[in-house]
Amino acid sequence: MEPSTSLLLLVVGGTLLVYLLKLLSWNWNRKLPPGPFQLPLVGNNSLVAKYSVKYKGLHNGLSKLCKEFSTDIIMIKLNGDNMVVVQNEGLIEQICTREEFQARPDTFFIRHRSMGTRKGITMTDGALWQEQRAFAVRHMHNLGLGKSRMEYLIIEEIQNVFAALKEGGSNIQIRQHISACVLNVLWAMVTGSRFKDEETLKKLISLMERRAKAFNMAGGVLCQFPWIRFIAPERTGYNLISQLNGEFKNFIMAIIKEHRATYDKDVTRDFIDAFLHEMNKNDPESYFTDDQLIMVCMDFFIAGSQTTSSTLDFAILHMILNPGVQQKAQEELDRVLAPNQMPSIVDKPRLPYTEAVLMESQRLSHVVPIIGPRRVLSDTKLGGYDIPKGTTILMNLVPLAKDTTKWPHPNSFIPERFLEEKGQDKYERNMYSFGKGKRRCPGEALARSFMFIFFASFLHRFKLEQNGVVPPTLDPVPGITLSTTPFDLKLSLRHPQTTK
């Protein structure tokens, strides 16, 4: 045998021995959740990738693995980290509310998302997260979140969409109109005004879409082998993500520069002004910096725009596929609103069926199928199993929507199921759409208001029909968030006689 071959076998054998010893020591005296055998070095990456492709999405692949082990909690090794996947409502409730599950993982990929740091709100924890989340919630409310100013912004942008659509027509791609509408509202809340020109808005929409695709492409290999970026920076998507991060940073910094040029310490025009006030206090113990402001803005736009746009896109698609439901909602809208009248948040209690339709769409087409990730802060137990400190927790929400004990006929579109509940109960039944506990989405009030007003306005103004003979599909485009397979829409004005 050649010396080089002997050396290679020795290295491989030694690596496997170290891995097995580490695995045995890690599992010793622990009752860990069941799961597939973890291959040395690569763990379960190839298996999860295979199942994700075969069953059309990571959430479906993980759900299939749970079924194979007859459990709602499994342990896998993914991207170099030990992960526990949970898809049981009681367990998810515990993860959302127990203190030891409130942290975020600290990985290369998450840091790369945050431009090489751990900043922002979404992917941080500890003192930084507590300070910045409380500040963001407080000042967004002061600036109109949940108030009449917010509703005015929403209605103004929806009217701009109606002006662009005019009397409707065929071959309409509604997603681009929704995205523009959502981003303009978010932009006004954060920077004080809507986009000054369409080209700037299109640039931001394009930037965010390209960035989402890049992260989907790079997530696996860069998470598992961060060092591979030095060997194949183009093929791994590392260069593209770095480029897009730079573009986004320059985009936001230009806005911050404009604010500084017109800054008045006694005036708070928007969220950026409020943040600059804190920065100018020069408190060495605070986390108010340029990089933090950029990442908070990025969190607002990524979390708010993608999920809200996709939710409304699916809701419109469900109306095309369920014309009877659409008609019933429109009859309710006609009883409450005058022709072409814009609905308001105060109208929501008088439009229970319309709201139920929107919620049923969210149940059947959950745009964020896996929430998390969470990092376990101390050795603990969950569902009778030992969960070691540092483990990453993923919560798979989609199986909750198919639970026949909670949702009779789960594959059918039945809005009436949400009319049975009152108050907050109906939101809690809606599969943790905005999370729960300390990490509940801080923009929930804005998102719920926007979705309701847009959806009710759209249904009241237009009749929605499929464009062509072949109906569009509900099969989503997989990714970190799910989106609709592109479809064309036919719109007809419902009250043309009153339209000028």
Which is more confident, 28 or 477?
A: 477
Contact 451, 367 (CB under 8 A): no
Looking at residues 356-385, what average pLDDT do you find? 92
CA 282 to chain centre: 34
> Among 193-197, 355-359, 437-441, 451-455, which stretch is predicted with the lowest mean pLDDT?
193-197
Q: 466: which strand partners?
A: 489
Contact 272, 256 (CB under 8 A): yes
CA distance 155 to 159: 6
Which is more confident, 482 or 216?
A: 482
- pLDDT above 50 for 499: no
CA distance 322 to 31: 48
Of 289, 268, 261, nearest to 138 by C-alpha is: 268
**43-379-428-131 Cα dihedral, nearest 10 degrees:** -100
Q: Mean pLDDT of all residues in the chain?
A: 84
Contact 86, 382 (CB under 8 A): yes
- pLDDT above 70 for 217: no
What DSSP designation does 349 have?
Answer: G
- pLDDT above 60 for 28: no
Residue 66, marked binder? no
SS3 152: helix
CA distance 144 to 138: 10
CA distance 21 to 15: 10
Residues 31-498, CATH architecture: Orthogonal Bundle (1.10)
- pLDDT above 80 for 257: yes
Contact 100, 391 (CB under 8 A): no
pLDDT score recorded for residue 25? 52
CA distance 78 to 42: 8
Structure tokens belonging to residue 63: 């759900």
Name the packing angle between helices 58-68 and 45-54 (round to 10°).
110
What DSSP designation does 346 have?
Answer: G
CB neighbours of 194 closer than 8 A, spacing ≥ 6?
Answer: 157, 184, 187, 188
Task: Return left, alpha or beta for 448; rule: phi > 0 is left, psi -120 to 50 is alpha, else beta.
Answer: alpha
Could you tell me the pLDDT band of residue 432, with boundaries at 50, 70 and 90? confident
Cis amide linkage into residue 33, ω under 30° from 0: no
- pLDDT above 90 for 35: yes
Which is more confident, 112 or 384?
A: 384
pLDDT score recorded for residue 450? 92
CA distance 318 to 372: 27
Q: What tens digit of pLDDT does each residue of 466-477 get?
A: 987 788 999 988
Supply the pTM of this predicted model.
0.87
SS3 494: coil
Q: Domain segments of the chain: what residues?
A: 31-498
Which is more confident, 112 or 228?
A: 112
Highest mean pLDDT among 201-205, 210-214, 367-371: 367-371
Of 277, 280, 275, nearest to 120 by C-alpha is: 275
pLDDT score recorded for residue 385? 96
Which is more confident, 327 or 42?
A: 327
Determine phi and psi for 118, rounding to 5 degrees: -115, 85
Determine phi and psi for 342, rounding to 5 degrees: -80, 130
- pLDDT above 90 for 191: no
Q: 462: which strand partners?
A: 493
What is the share, in percent, of the chain residues with pLDDT greater than 70? 86
Q: 484: which strand partners?
A: 476
Of 111, 78, 44, 108, nearest to 393 by C-alpha is: 78
- pLDDT above 70 for 2: no
- pLDDT above 50 for 218: no
11, 20, 150, 399 from 2: Cα distances, Å: 14, 27, 74, 54
SS3 259: helix
Looking at residues 466-492, what average pLDDT do you find? 86
Looking at residues 90-109, what average pLDDT do you find? 91
CA distance 95 to 107: 20
